[in-house]
Chain A
Amino acid sequence: GQQLNQSPQSMFIQEGEDVSMNCTSSSIFNTWLWYKQDPGEGPVLLIALYKAGELTSNGRLTAQFGITRKDSFLNISASIPSDVGIYFCAGRGEYGNKLVFGAGTILRVKS
């Protein structure tokens, strides 16, 4: 089945630094999504991308839908302590209605 490779697995950065994480797939996706999960909570949708090449921002977060439709990245600028959590990419393929999730990137911010 479809799989997403998300990297890095974890990051420990200094407050104020920019962060970049990405997801790749061997198959084409029609939609890319980025979620954040805080400890003890469910994933919260951050950004949804619907077209190849699309670049979308949500505050300090910016995500792009790769031209090949097989990848996406998420950038966080000027990180702050509340950015801590697990970030998941998810994609919806050409067929079917299911989302496939990446394994997540654990972000820790040192203040």
Chain B
Amino acid sequence: DAGVIQSPRHEVTEMGQEVTLRCKPISGHNSLFWYRQTMMRGLELLIYFNNNVPIDDSGMPEDRFSAKMPNASFSTLKIQPSEPRDSAVYFCASSVLARLETQYFGPGTRLLVL
């Protein structure tokens, strides 16, 4: 069975550029989560969706970050404009709504903003 799919796996960009990260959750899962992982702050929840609807975006650092989930099988996290401090590993995870706590993570996107 395919797990959570993320693309790209690696992204190097220059400050000021727009970055779009993509995620395909596990088929049948109806909750999707975006996390950011850094050495300093560990794993932080940015936003999560239930049935394609954003439920809690209180973890989104600022207006430069936005996330969408146009359908049950696709979500994007966009950073515009990107800054060096956005460099991190961004993970997408999905779960079944009835078991929100048992989340399955994708392999992550390693973002480096120069």
Contacts and interface: CB of A to CB of B under 8 A. Distances in A.
Interface of A: 31, 33, 35, 40-45, 48, 88, 90, 92, 96-99, 101-104
Contacts of A104: 42
Interface stretch (B14-22, B68-76, B79-87, B101-109): B101-109
Contacts of A48: 101-102
B26 to A, nearest CB: 12
Interface of B: 4, 42-43, 45, 48, 55-56, 91, 93, 100-108
Nearest to A99: B101
13 contacts: A35-B105, A41-B107, A42-B106, A42-B108, A44-B105, A45-B102, A88-B43, A90-B101, A92-B100, A97-B48, A97-B101, A98-B56, A101-B42
Contacts, number: 44
Contacts of A88: 43
Contacts of A102: 42
Given A43-B43, A48-B101, A97-B55, 9 more contacts: A41-B108, A42-B4, A42-B108, A44-B105, A45-B103, A97-B56, A98-B48, A99-B45, A102-B42
A42 B91 contact: yes
B42 A103 contact: yes
A98 B104 contact: no
